[in-house]
Amino acid sequence: MSKLQPVRGTRDIYGQLAYRHHHIIDTSFEVCRRYGYDRISTPIFEFTNVFLRSIGETTDIVSKEMYSFEDRKGESLTLRPEGTAGVVRSLISNGRFQELPLKQFYAGPMFRYERPQKGRYRQFHQIGAEYLGAEEPRSDVEAISMAFNVLQALGLDKSISLEINTLGDEDSRSAYRDALVAYFAKYKNDLSADSQMRLEKNPLRILDSKNETDKEISSQAPAFEAFLNASSKTYFENVCKGLENLGLSYVLNDKLVRGLDYYSHSVFEFVTNELGAQGTVLAGGRYDGLVQQMGGKPTPAIGWAAGIERLEMLMPDLAEDLPVTMMMPIGETTFSEAEKLMHDLRSAGHKVISDYAGNLKKRFARADKVGAKLAIILGEEELSKNVVMLKNMKTGEQDEVEINQLEKKIRENHES
């Protein structure tokens, strides 16, 4: 029988990768909590409509990347390709409008049918934050500053830079759309097939194309700035001022449009040049029209998401941070006391692992190898006196400790 393989573009998360994966989720939520965020988990599959109605039919995601299937009743379902649509659907279906503003943090797997490569998978994972009911430029500034603080808490602030742009309001976008259609129409036959289709339906999307010829044509396209109306301009200026006020540096990138249709005003990306073509680590923007578009009350909102795999690749190895105590019982008559002691120490919050086999020299070598801080040696003689030997693996110091004092001694040792 041939060996079972994982599905292309998916992978198992264990060992060092698992450490980093969970460290990223825990650390980033810890930061977001300081901004008043709560956790939310939405299902990993939704009715296909949830994504069709939100992400936009001319986007890469909807046009070619979705894992859609019919269930046994013929209902069209889709594995979520991103997190925002589900969070907004949840706001609407749970009628949580009285609770606005709502700040929601999520983490979990996303699914896109893409060509797998470094930093690009078919099942990947995101952390993300959605601020629903987010009014005023100060909310944009807060969302961006929170993203920065997350990256800083992960030790990545030196490897990334912030790029921002504005997509203006509806009026500005529609003026810009006309200008883009006029411009791209001149190059229609040179554009990729995808972009030719976008020309009619959503020319802004062409600016986000990864096709080389499309990119070249886009580089000469009219800039958005000339089409921004006064209020959109003021809005964006205030976002920029707010970032400066916090001392966050940014680069203006007028080609930044993002891969989803629901954005308006601020869009931003934290990018790195350490990951080749997969340089976007964290990305987001304002999506004022989305909640209403999906059938809810008009609700301004802003959010961002980051790819856990890309964050992982930028991070150094992590080590276990709970101090380890190694239990070494000598002789079968001591085993049940050892088990009882370990049970009690673990309930008191200590990490204790055990090594029952071989001579002490070999056991100490193994304890060193796993980085144990302390070793408990429990022989028959000790047991008869109700004591153990507690050895500090770093200094080599060894003390006789009464069993009823053991937990206290271990705690003191870890605290010192």
**170: CB partners within 8 A, 6+ apart:** 264, 289
Query: Could you say whether residue 309 binds ligand ATP (CB under 6 A)?
Result: yes
Query: Could you say whether residue 159 binds ligand ATP (CB under 6 A)?
Result: no
Strand partners, 389: 377, 400
Could you tell me which stretch among 149-157, 249-257, 306-314, 372-380 binds ligand ATP (CB under 6 A)? Answer: 306-314
Rounded to whole angstroms, what are the CA distances from 300 to 131, 172, 238, 283? 9, 17, 17, 18
**192: CB partners within 8 A, 6+ apart:** 209, 211, 213, 214
Q: How many residues does the chain have?
A: 416
Query: Could you say whether residue 414 binds ligand ATP (CB under 6 A)?
Result: no
The smaller minimum CB distance to ligand ATP, of residues 114 and 407, is found at: 114
Q: What is the spatial distance between Cα 27 and Cα 144, in angstroms, rounded to a whole number?
A: 17
Which among 100, 54, 101, 133 is positioned nearest to 295, based on CA atoms?
54
* Smallest distance from ligand ATP to CB 275, Å: 9
* Helices 230-245 & 136-153 angle (0-180, nearest 10): 40
* Smallest distance from ligand ATP to CB 283, Å: 4
**113: CB partners within 8 A, 6+ apart:** 64, 65, 66, 67, 122
Q: What is the spatial distance between Cα 171 and Cα 289, in angstroms, rounded to a whole number?
A: 13
Query: Could you say whether residue 82 binds ligand ATP (CB under 6 A)?
Result: yes
The two tokens of residue 170 are 């509806």
* Distance linking the first and last C-alpha atoms of the chain: 56
> Could you say which of 24, 154, 160, 281 contacts ligand ATP (CB under 6 A)?
281
The smaller minimum CB distance to ligand ATP, of residues 152 and 398, is found at: 152
Which among 151, 374, 406 is positioned nearest to 269, based on CA atoms?
151
* Smallest distance from ligand ATP to CB 403, Å: 51
Query: Could you say whether residue 288 binds ligand ATP (CB under 6 A)?
Result: no
> Could you say which of 29, 51, 105, 124 contacts ligand ATP (CB under 6 A)?
124
* 3-state SS, residue 283: strand
> Could you say which of 53, 89, 198, 310 contacts ligand ATP (CB under 6 A)?
310
* 3-state SS, residue 381: helix
Query: Could you say whether residue 59 binds ligand ATP (CB under 6 A)?
Result: no
Neighbours of 71 (CB within 10 A): 9
Show contacts with ligand ATP in window 234-273 (CB under 6 A): 259
Query: Could you say whether residue 286 binds ligand ATP (CB under 6 A)?
Result: no
* Smallest distance from ligand ATP to CB 262, Å: 11
Query: Could you say whether residue 120 binds ligand ATP (CB under 6 A)?
Result: yes
Show contacts with ligand ATP in window 359-378 (CB under 6 A): none
> Could you say which of 307, 328, 378, 391 contacts ligand ATP (CB under 6 A)?
307
Query: Could you say whether residue 283 binds ligand ATP (CB under 6 A)?
Result: yes
> Could you say which of 42, 195, 218, 280 contacts ligand ATP (CB under 6 A)?
280
Binding site for ligand ATP (CB under 6 A): 82, 112, 114, 119-121, 124, 126, 259, 278, 280-281, 283, 305-307, 309-310
